[in-house]
Structure 1
Amino acid sequence: MYGVYAPPGYPPPGRLTVIDPFHEKDVGYPTPRTHADVVLITHDHFDHNRVDVIEGGFETIRAPGVYEVKGVTFRGIPSYHDSSHGRVRGGNTIYVFEMNGIKFCHLGDLGERLSNEKIKEIGDVDVLMIPVGGHFTIGPEEASEMVEKISPRITVPMHYKTPVIDFPIRPVDDFLRGKENVRRFSENEVEIRLPERSEIWVLHYG
């Protein structure tokens, strides 16, 4: 699960967007205890759709389309959770939105290589959240290709193997191998200040 917060004083003020909430009994990480203004669901699998753990009078977006919620425009772009046009794991929604003048793209559990047309539809991206673990999603090699084509300022890898989970996916180091400008954080909350050069941010899990 990821959250994007626009603090008071920024337009729109005090907005918190939560993406793909989960429960600890399903994935092993602590259940997120937070409120939200908007909850984005990339696909309706049990480890990505637990809106019941989120507090507040939030609005939920679950499908492709264009939505405006509390002053923020969210674009949901259709994609697939597998490389077989969704026949194995179904659909997946990519979300693109802007807060604090920063353009975010969350690829969800993307399982296919995106076409050039789809990448053009995504547009310019400052912060890209991308799965890298393979098996259920694209793996390190495909993710590296996507990062090169989308060319974000910050890449945040997700959906990779850690000591907490036993899913048959690959560790983040497989994606990081040979890459420069990697920053590892000891916390899972960071303030985003866009770097002059592209960087990869590895957040602490849990």
Structure 2
Amino acid sequence: MKFFRPLFVFLLLQIPLSAIAAGQAELTWYGHAAFKLTTPTGKVLLIDPWLTNPANKNGKDDLAKLEKADLILITHGHFDHVGNSAEIARKTGARLVSTFDLGKAIAQYGGYPEKQMGFDTQGNFGGELTLLDGEVKIAFIPAIHSSTVMAPEGSADKDIHDGGNPGGFFIMVKNGPAIYHTGDTDVFSDMALTHQFGKVDVMLACIGGHFTMGPERAAEAVRLVKPGMVVPMHFGTFPVLDGTVETFAKALKKQGGKTRLHEMKVGETLKF
């Protein structure tokens, strides 16, 4: 016994501290297009963080309890994607990941702290960022949509301002999943090129219709991307977003692909 204990301690000391500290990556859905991605080392990324959207009954509590965010990723300038980002940024110091055009507009008209954005976290389509000490890589993916920015409700500024071009993100987490958030978009053929950045483990796909692709066209997008799993989003928040998971599931089944459909519940967390 006296021999084994020193041997165990010796072996334990050979294990990197990062391996001991690292946990699982987690993905939480707040409803609509809002997600929280937590890396294995505890870094927090928020995507289109409209936590107080109508689909999230606990939105105000979720917003109040959110104490940590390292990065906030915003796909385009519409209010339902900019969401609570300025408030969260001021509270947490989170840096903005977006295109330069969108960042400038959100800082000027949306209240996002301009000091929390810059060359290190902003880019454009085809570009790729390495962030959080190399733990995360983020590629900018185009989208077919629009992107305008409005001042917060109650502001004297009632104008609509240009927010640059809309997009999505391909997020690669070290020792974690590779996630493609489509943003708001229709299907387009170049989605098939997303794999050039890496294999997509999880695709977060808008299916609501009206302003974006609906379930059938979203299924075509899945066929092009070929992710391991698809999670539908951006549906049911408003009456006009009437695309359903049932219709989406039927369209996927008709295609006969290998992608697994997972319908997340608001507030649910997936672990990887």
Q: TM above 0.5, one fold?
A: yes
Q: Alignment length, in residue pairs?
A: 179
Distance in 2, Cα, partners of 1:125 & 1:48: 22
Q: Where in structure 2 are there 5+ consecutive unaligned residues?
A: 1-33, 100-123, 147-162, 254-259
Q: Deviations over 1:173-198 (max 9, x none)?
A: 221226565445556332334xxxxx
Shift of 1:90: 7.1
More strand by share: 1
Distance in 2, Cα, partners of 1:69 & 1:172: 34
Which of structure 1's runs of 4+ aligned residues deviate more than 6 A?
Answer: none
Share of identical aligned residues, percent?
30
Distance in 2, Cα, partners of 1:108 & 1:153: 19
Asked if 1:96 is matched to 2:130, the reply is: no
Q: Structure 1 residues 75 and 58 mapped into 2: Cα distance closer, same or farther (>3 Å)?
A: same
Decide whether the 8 Å contact of 2:143 with 2:166 is kept in 1. yes
Q: Structure 1 residues 122 and 146 mapped into 2: Cα distance closer, same or farther (>3 Å)?
A: farther
Distance in 1, Cα, partners of 2:167 & 2:181: 9
Q: Give 1:76's aligned residue.
A: 140
Distance in 2, Cα, partners of 1:118 & 1:21: 27
Q: Could you tell me which of 46, 49, 66 is aligned with 1:18?
A: 46
Distance in 1, Cα, partners of 2:182 & 2:141: 9
Shift of 1:74: 1.0
Distance in 1, Cα, partners of 2:213 & 2:142: 16
Residues 46-125 of structure 1 mapped to structure 2, 5 A cutoff: 46-49=79-82, 50-54=84-88, 55-63=91-99, 64=124, 65-70=127-132, 71=134, 72-81=136-145, 91-99=165-173, 100-115=175-190, 118-125=193-200
Q: TM-score, normalised by structure 2?
A: 0.58
Please tell me the root mean square deviation across aligned C-alpha atoms, in Å.
2.6
Distance in 2, Cα, partners of 1:160 & 1:173: 12
Asked if 1:158 is matched to 2:233, the reply is: yes
Structure with more contact order per residue of length (Cα contacts < 8 Å, sep ≥ 6): 2
Q: Structure 1 residues 185 and 101 mapped into 2: Cα distance closer, same or farther (>3 Å)?
A: closer
Give the residue type in structure 2 aligned to 1:52: A
Shift of 1:40: 0.4
Decide whether the 8 Å contact of 2:140 with 2:169 is kept in 1. yes
Distance in 1, Cα, partners of 2:268 & 2:248: 22
More helix by share: 2
Shift of 1:48: 0.5
Distance in 2, Cα, partners of 1:101 & 1:2: 16
Q: Structure 1 residues 23 and 189 mapped into 2: Cα distance closer, same or farther (>3 Å)?
A: closer
Kindly name which structure, 1 or 2, has the bigger radius of gyration based on alpha carbons.
Answer: 2
Asked if 1:42 is matched to 2:75, the reply is: yes
Give the residue type in structure 2 aligned to 1:18: L
Distance in 2, Cα, partners of 1:147 & 1:4: 21
Q: Deviations over 1:129-156 (max 9, x none)?
A: 0101111111111111111221111111
Decide whether the 8 Å contact of 1:74 with 1:96 is kept in 2. yes
Q: Give 2:211's aligned residue.
A: 136
Q: Structure 1 residues 116 and 62 mapped into 2: Cα distance closer, same or farther (>3 Å)?
A: closer
Q: Give 1:2's aligned residue.
A: 35
Q: TM-score, normalised by structure 1?
A: 0.74
